[in-house]
Structure formats: structure tokens, C-alpha cells
Amino acid sequence: MNSCLLFLLAFIITSSAQPNCSHQPDELRFLFMASNGSSFNSFSSLLGVDIALERINSNSSILPNFTLSYSNAADSQCLRTPSLSAFLSQRIAPCSNFLAVIGSGCSVATDPVAEIGPFWGLSHISFASSSVHLRDRDRFKNYFQIYASENNYIPGIASIMTFYGWSRVVIITEKVTLFTETEETLFELLTTKSVNATRIDFESDDNPADIPNLFPENERIFFLNMWEPKARQVICEAYKRGYTDRTKYGWILYGWYSNAWWNLRSKNTTVTCTNEQLYSVLNGALAVQQYPINTNVTKTAIGNLSYSEFYELYDARLADNVSYPSHAYLESTYVAHMSYDATWTLALALDRTARRIAGGQDPVPECSGTLTPLDQWDNTISTTSCLIRYELGRTSFEGLTGNVSFDDDGIRHNSPTRIYQIRNNEQQLVARWFEDNFVYLNNESTETVFPDGVPSDGTPIRIVSTFHLSLVVIFYTISFAGLVFCIICLVFTFYFRNKKLIKLISPNLNYFIIAGTSMVFLSIFLRIFPFDTSDEERFKKTRLLLCYISLYLDFIGYTIAFGTILSKMWRIYYIFHNPSPNKKILTDWHLIGLILLITAGMVAILIIGLATLA
């Protein structure tokens, strides 16, 4: 249904286009599109396109009979509708005649343009989009992508979880197509790896401070799946909620944010934290960078330019707004060198197409019909447009981003995922992942990445305090036998309490001795009982209470039992050393009072001691 509507729209626009427009016969034009002033600002990539065009047009071996340029630079605003509107405005503009599109910035803006472009035979080369659904060749027939797909590094993120033994993670996602697709794919992959993922989604207009469950209780590992500005807000909220201990919390982020993105610009009014406060949360965080890049930044690439030389030119031009008066608010972007490679990709494909046409060669089997010279391009689906698409698919050269080539879906071939760590106020390369292999780089190790230990994922650690089975059997047997013996003595004493012989040994005091020894035997059961600390709060409130009870039973029982025995011995001593007929008689109740006084003293000592420890 969508395809039919797009076809109808394309037909109407094409029918209403103004005829008899003239342009330089040797000029080949394309439309440049990027997002300007949005959450993902890539418009300054136009400078990378200019640098590439200067080298292409000055190279006599590339498109020798043509000049390559862009017809206009349109702002996609990183939004679907404005992007489509900007494209159609350029398409129906008087004398507008471009044979390809380079852009359109972020994935959501690229989607509609890449889908409708083939109705005019247009090829589309993206340098900043990476959404998973753009791999759909049935929808995006002429689409090619310099930026590697999200699918390229989702396994890399999962490998971080498994490598560090994390079985729980919170995925905090901004509700944008690019990120929701990543979230879904990552969630499914983590499920297969037995990693429990909690998903927290919010709208782009939401304030993280208003999301009460932004950081679920007892969770320790967080993956921020969002644009850079929103990531700042989330990290600021994390600081306010006390998530600053790198030994306790782990953060995983995108590595394609701008350099030192936590350092706020003066115009930023959405974040209320200082640079230092943001860094206090991010210190030790891991950042995943999935796009290809030459590890040797001084290596000369296509156009006789290295990565470092390119950015010297780029930064110089970025500072010179006089040369670009209509774009005075250009901001630096990390994808500028990708737009350079995208421009070269188009130039090389057009060059091969032009040579095939000039040589009178037949079109490839995929493209039947008669080839039309490039300077007679008329924005229709033709054999020439098919050949341009074919030649784009055959692209292979060494660019600033590494080897540029595409798979059958027009997506950049996979490359190793690089893992950085934020430390010393910058991102430092520490590891890479490729084809299920996680390898440390630059002499890094787990000890250097996490010198204070790998943060726990929040999974309760099961610590069970146990004794050897043989000791448990022995102690339980003795304690049980002791308790049985105490019960027998209690029954015997109570049953024969009125017998003369039993009366002579003070049955009331015997009850205290039996109670004290029973408490000691019972404390043994509690003392060697296995304690499970998997639930920290429950352990503190219940299990730890058993330990305190066993301690009280042990000391109080010992005091009562031996206190009673010693009091009975003291009464015998008192009787034989005071033979006077007028001596004061010590009854059982006198001794019981003495025993209770001694026991109260022991209880006081225990309470004071435990209070001091607490």
C-alpha cells in the first residue's frame, strides 16, 4: 500500500515538472541531505563532500568529461516528514535534475527518501544511517550505506555482557526507530545468551527526572540506547540519584557520540549538572564504536589524503564560517569523513558507468535495454539508472573509513567492533570484538579496565555459611541427645518432686539447670544452621536474627545453668561455715533471685556489646 502511494506521488510530481530546463552538459549533480540543528547534527558533513569534490574534479582520471557537484544542500531535520518534504521540494524545483542522493542524515530521515527515490531512478548513498530495517532490499532498492549497520555491533554489546559475566542489564531506550529496532534485536540476542534484560522506554520529549523507574532497584548495569543530548540528561539524573560508584555500577554507551560529549556547551540548557558531575558517573564507562575506521590515521587513502589530514582541513574550514555564510552555525560531526567516502563512492560508480557507455559496451545482464549518456539524465527508471546501481554494488576502495565495499543488500561489510573506555576525561581504545572473539588491545586487561574489580550486575550473590556434613551430624546428634536427656530429667524431676530425696536436691533449682542446658543445646542447632544471604534485606532482618538468638541462648543458658549449680554450692558452703542455730536460712527463692540478678547482668553485657558492634 505504501509503495503504491509513493508511486502515485512520484507520478504526479514527475508529470508536473517543468520541461525545457537546461544545464551544463558536462555537469553531473546529486542532492546532499543532512540534519542541521537536530538531536543528531550532521550538516557539517557538507565540508567533507566539498573536500572530496575538489579532489575528484581535479583528478583527470575520474569522470574526465564531467564535473561532479551537488545541486543543493537540504536539511532533513532528522525527522521523517521534514526529510521527505525537503526532498520533494528539491525534486519539483525548476530545472532540478540530480541523479543520486547523498544523505539524509539519521536513519529516520533516510527511510522515506531512500524508499521513494528509485521511482525516479535515483540511487541513494547514506553516510550517517545505520538502522537495521534499511537492509530491506525490497523497500530500498537503490540504497547503499557507508555507515555499518546496527546489526554489526549488537552482538558486540552482547559479548561485553557475557565476557564480564553480567547476567542482568537495563536497556534505557529513547523511542526513535533507530533505537527501538536496536533494543528489540539486542533483547532477543541477550535472551538466547541467558541475559535478563529490563527495558525502560521513554519519549524524546520526556524529562528523565520525571521517570521514577529510570534506574530499577538492585540493577547495576545500564545500556544507554539514545541520542547524545538525551544521554547527557540521563547521566545527569544518574548523578543526582547517586549512581557514581564505578565499583558498583557499569555503563555501556554508543561510541559514536561527539568527542568528550559530557563536556557541556554554553548553549546547552537541558542539563543542570556540571562537566565534572557528568564525568563522575561516566568514569570507567564502556563505549561501543561499530563503524569502520583506519587504525592508522596517517595512512594515505583515496584522494591522496589521510584521516588526520582530512580532519585538519575539515576543522580549518569549520572555523571559517565566511566560506559558508548560509550555514553559519555548523557544528563538528564525527561522520564528516564518511561523507567524504560516500562522495567518492558515487564518483567511482559514475566513472565506471560513463566509461561503459562511452565504450559502447552492452549493459550488464541485470540491466536490459539501451544505455543513455549521463549528460542526458532525465530522472526516469532506465537502463542507465540500473547500471549506476550495479556499479555502486561493485564498489571497492580504501577510504578514510577503511575498505569501502557493500554486501548484496547495499550495506557496508562488517568490521570489528571497537570498545572504548571513558577514562582520564577521554575515550581510550581497550578492546575489540569480531566473529565471537573478544580481544583486549593496547596491553589492556580486565585488571586495567576495572582495577577495583568488575562491577556486579546486581544478581544476588548466594553466600551460604555451612559446616562439613560430618560435623553437622555429630553436633546435631549430640545436641539432640542432650535435649532429649534434658526433657527426661525435666519429666522425672516434675513427677517425683514431692519425694524426699528429690526435695533434698531442690527441684525448683533443677528446673533452672535443665532450662539453661537446654538453651545451650538449642543454640548449637541455630549456630550451625546454613545461612542464605541471597536476599540482603531478608538476611539482615531474619537470618541475622537467628545468629543473635543463638548467641543470646548460648551465653544466657550457660549463665543460668552454671549460675544455679554455683548458687547451690554456695548455699552448702554457707550452711557448713555458719553452724549457729540463729543463722539466716537461704531458701530456693533467695537463690533464684541471685540467679536472675546474674542473668540480668549477662543480658545487659550482651545488649551493650551488640549495640557497640552495630
Average pLDDT for runs of 10 along the chain of length 614: 48 47 73 81 89 95 92 88 92 83 90 93 91 89 88 84 93 90 91 93 90 89 92 94 92 86 71 91 90 70 92 86 60 87 96 90 82 83 89 92 90 83 91 85 92 86 66 86 91 86 83 89 79 60 75 88 87 78 73 87 85 71
Question: ∠196-532-469 over CA atoms, to 5°?
Answer: 125
Q: Break the chain into its structural domains and give their ranges.
A: 2-149+303-405, 154-289+424-449, 464-613
pLDDT for the residue 13:
47
Query: Is the bond leading into 104 cis (omega within 30 degrees of zero)?
Result: yes
pLDDT for position 576: 79
Fold (topology level) of 154-289+424-449: Rossmann fold (3.40.50)
Which fold is adopted by the domain 2-149+303-405? Rossmann fold (3.40.50)
Phi, psi (degrees; rounded to nearest 5) at 85? -65, -45
Task: Read off the C-alpha cell for 122.
Answer: 535515483
Whether 22 contacts 29, CB under 8 Å: no
Q: What is the pLDDT at residue 249?
A: 94
In 3D space, the residue among 180, 316, 170 whose CA is nearest the CA of residue 250 turns out to be 170
Question: Is the CB of residue 390 less than 8 Å from the CB of residue 125?
Answer: no
| CB of 167 closer than 8 Å to CB of 197 | no
**Displacement of CA 437 from its chain's centroid (Å):** 19
pLDDT, position 396:
92
Give pLDDT, residue 11: 45
Element housing 340 (H / E): helix 336-358
Cα–Cα distance, 583 to 151 (Å, whole number): 99
The pLDDT value given to residue 8: 47
> pLDDT value at position 461?
62
User: What's the predicted TM-score (pTM) here?
Assistant: 0.65
pLDDT confidence of residue 547:
77
**236 vs 209: CA distance, rounded Å:** 9
DSSP conformation class of 406: B
- DSSP class of residue 135 equals G
Which cell goes with 110? 533516510
pLDDT (tens digit per residue) in 458-480: 876 665 556 677 888 888 888 89
Cell numbers that stand for 527 in this block: 549456630
pLDDT the model gives residue 23: 54
How far apart CA 590 and CA 275 sit, in angstroms, is: 75
CA distances from 253 to 223, 282, 322, 420 (A): 6, 10, 36, 10
Note whether 27 and 69 are within 8 A (CB): yes
Determine the 3-state secondary structure of 428 from DSSP.
strand
Domains 2-149+303-405 and 154-289+424-449 equal at CATH topology level: yes
Residue 298 grid coordinates = 596517517
